[in-house]
A and B are shown apart, each in its own frame.
Chain A
Amino acid sequence: MIRTVYILWLRQLKRYVRSRSRIIGSLGQPLLFLVALGYGFGPIFQKAGQGNYLEFLAPGVIAMSILFTAIFSGIEIIWDKQFGFLKETLVAPVSRLNIMIGRTLGGATVATIQGIIVFFISLAAGFRPTNITLLPIAFLIMALTALLFTAMGTALASLLEDMQGFQMVMNFLVMPIFFLSGALFPLEGLPRSIFIAASLNPLSYGVDGLRGALVGQVHFGFITDFAVLSVITALFLVVGSYLFSKIEI
């Protein structure tokens, strides 16, 4: 069982390391967000008395890159489903649960690495974490967020027939999750409806925990963040495993 999980995990990592264009491409977007938004809105943010915007934004951008990478890793199953490789794993004498766990752990590892790389990019862009001793907690939250959204991607991919559905997922699910998460703006003083949307959004808790660990600003509190992330991750893992076990090709 361990070897099955391991080889599937390793496969995800090898694929990631070998797709250099994907790595570089996926780093351009966070960099653009940091530079354009970070420096662009910086003065207004400062005037509004909220302090340094780049400090505020960087955790949000790290969370964004984790979200996108994780969802994409999960969604990759659609490609594997249609282009054969999934068949190779599904006719093998191993349980689907192990396949799903291996893939999801692999995808989550890749997303966490991506988050860490973006963390270093933001350092280069001028971001300075206030408390370095809390870095391990930041990485833990990154990993948990990565696991949550990879499992979510797996669940979605098990339901979707082809990549056309992926566009819909991006526009109606992933983008709203990102924009309504508090990654770009503070959750204080928001219109009620936006605040409710943000509170129902699992990414809000990832961003909040990350921001708490990196720059000491928390809205919900660490315990709430961890509790919500853990419960939702467990939920998506169960749902994802169930849907994955039902795939027929």
Chain B
Amino acid sequence: MSILSYALISYINLSNNDEIDMLQNDNTENYSIEVRNLTKKFGDFTAVDNISFSVKRGETFAFLGPNGAGKTTTIKMLTTLLHPTTGTMLVNGYDPIKNQDAVRRSFGIVFQDQSLDEELTAYENMEFHGVLYKVPDKILRKKIEELLNFVELWDRKNDLVKHFSGGMKRRLEIARGLLHTPELLFMDEPTIGLDPQTRNHIWKYLKDLNGTAGITVFFTTHYMDEAERVADRVAIIDHGRIVAEGRPEELKNKTGAKTLEEAFLSLTGKQIREEEAGSIDQMRMNRKMWSK
């Protein structure tokens, strides 16, 4: 009996949701990210050139492109770290330029570069984040335990992060990004430099989150097979412009390619992109030298 009523209720919920989806298709509340004519110039160089796209709530969206295409710059603008030159954005219904704090509360982020404090323990990194995001004390402790268990790091909670491997750091960053229960998670190349085991784990976490908590996931990657497997929709950006957008199958059909990687190459060309190594890259190298 109870199983039947449960099934019935979920059926009703489901059909209701479908109806709402259909009704509100053009409503902003249905979109997690909306970008219109976004442009960012650094001096004469146009990093992002008049792009428009939107990401639906609950969607897993991959933002793909060669090095220097403008992926990270776009994420920085969406996450209030950079001001756009022109254009409008809405993140979870808030404007990242005018309503910074509301936007900041509504998303979690895993940066391309590691952004943990290595001199602190895993738990302390989580606690720091919780305090900055004003997660109430009682909830905070429970939530940290829950998330560290989720990424399988609870046993190592009191270890300094500098003793962690790359994969463990990434997992910790994911847990940290989820601590304030965001509606949207940004991940800038979350699986770069990780072994296949860890990569699979990370995508599994994300699928779980996306499925059970309904979190919208916006990620970039250079691994086309991962994007093909995980993403509901992808956008391909090149030289600051979006050259294609759609479901992975749509892009494959459009270009007559067998895999997303082939589609990607046929859309963006096979030429290798030269990205100038800025001071940041040099420092990264120095850091590697210094830290044994």
Chain A residues at the B interface, C-beta cutoff of 8 Å: 3-4, 6-7, 11, 14-15, 18-19, 82-85, 87-94, 161-164, 248-249
Contact = CB atoms under 8 A, between A and B. Distances in A.
A14 B104 contact: no
Interface in B99-141: 100-102, 104-105, 109, 111, 113-117, 119-120, 124, 127-129, 131-134
A14 B279 contact: no
Given A82-B280, A91-B81, A93-B101, A11 B129 contact: no
Contacts of B287: 83
A92 B107 CA distance: 10
- Tell me the dominant secondary structure on chain A's binding face: helix
A161 B116 CA distance: 20
Interface of B: 76, 79-83, 100-102, 104-105, 109, 111, 113-117, 119-120, 124, 127-129, 131-134, 160, 176, 279-280, 282-284, 286-287
A147 B112 CA distance: 34
A84 B111 contact: yes
B113 A92 contact: no
Contacts of A93: 100-102, 104-105, 132-134
B111 A11 contact: no
8 contacts: A18-B160, A82-B283, A83-B113, A83-B115, A83-B287, A85-B116, A91-B104, A92-B104
A7 B111 contact: no
Contacts of B117: 11, 15, 85
Contact of A15 (B109, B119, B129, B279): B119
A18 B117 CA distance: 12
Contact of B111 (A4, A15, A87): A87
Contacts of A15: 117, 119-120
Nearest to A95: B101
A3 B114 CA distance: 25
Contacts of B104: 91-93
B82 A19 contact: no
B283 A19 contact: no
A4 B131 contact: yes
Nearest to A3: B131
Contacts, number: 80
Of A11, A15, A83, the most chain B CB neighbours within 10 A belong to: A83
B92 to A, nearest CB: 13
A21 B119 CA distance: 13
Nearest to B137: A3
Contacts of A7: 127-128, 131-132
Nearest to B82: A248
B81 A248 contact: yes
- Tell me the dominant secondary structure on chain B's binding face: helix
A15 B162 CA distance: 12
Of A85, A87, A89, A161, the most chain B CB neighbours within 10 A belong to: A85
Nearest to A99: B132
A17 to B, nearest CB: 10
A87 B81 contact: yes
B132 A162 contact: no
Contacts of A4: 131-132
The 3 closest A-B pairs by CB, nearest first: A84-B115, A92-B132, A93-B104
B279 A88 contact: no
B116 A162 contact: no
B113 A84 contact: yes
A87 B117 CA distance: 11
A88 B282 CA distance: 21
Of A14, A82, A89, A90, the most chain B CB neighbours within 10 A belong to: A82
Nearest to B104: A93
Contacts of B111: 84, 87-88
Contacts of A11: 117, 120, 128
Given A19-B119, A85-B117, 19 more contacts: A3-B131, A4-B132, A6-B131, A7-B131, A11-B117, A15-B117, A84-B115, A88-B116, A91-B79, A91-B80, A91-B104, A92-B104, A92-B129, A93-B101, A93-B102, A161-B279, A162-B279, A162-B283, A248-B83
A49 B283 CA distance: 51
Nearest to B100: A93
Nearest to A88: B115
A85 B81 contact: no
Nearest to B176: A88
A6 B131 CA distance: 10
Contact of B283 (A88, A92, A163): A163
Contacts of B119: 14-15, 18-19
Contacts of A3: 131, 134
A90 B81 contact: yes
Nearest to B125: A88
Contacts of B286: 163
A88 B129 contact: yes
B207 to A, nearest CB: 25
Contacts of B105: 93
